Copies of this chain bind each other. A is one copy, B any other.
Amino acid sequence: MKVVSADPLSQVFSALADPTRRDMVARLAIGDATVTELAEPYDVTIQAVSKHVKVLEHAGLITRRRDAQRRPVHLEADVFELMTKWIERYRSLAEDRFQRLDDLLLDMSDVPEPSEPSERNQKGTAS
């Protein structure tokens, strides 16, 4: 899978569409870690983990400090906002739509009550 110059939002969604990368983000939420530390729980090569780290870095989800040999990986949690803003916008649009539908149904059920025209009409036509 090769993504060529995707937009930022596509990159973030794509980076998190992998359970290993989500797991790495979950661990980095608790504390910074080196690539070697990140690789420990997984039965994969350091190279494979390095590749995942690069995808997360490219999406802006992590940065790596120039800290001599260690170069710990740091989570940039602000980038989550890109996603949550997008999601919240369309969730609330969809919710508003259902609310309007509910209100409409409620209005419709209110209509026949107040003037009782059917009774008056019956009297008019009976005499």
Q: Does A106 contact B (CB under 8 A)?
A: no
Q: Does A104 contact B (CB under 8 A)?
A: no
Chain B residues, Cβ within 8 Å of A70: none
Known: A17-B14, A87-B80. A30 touches B97 (CB 8 A): yes
A 9-40 binary contact with B (CB < 8 Å = 1; else 0): 11101101111001001101111000000000
- Quick one: closest B residue to A77, CB to CB? B94
Known: A30-B97, A77-B95, A97-B31. A90 touches B17 (CB 8 A): no
Which one, B30, B84, B93, contacts A87 given CB within 8 A?
Answer: B84
Q: Check if A22 sits within 8 Å of B9, measured CB to CB.
A: yes
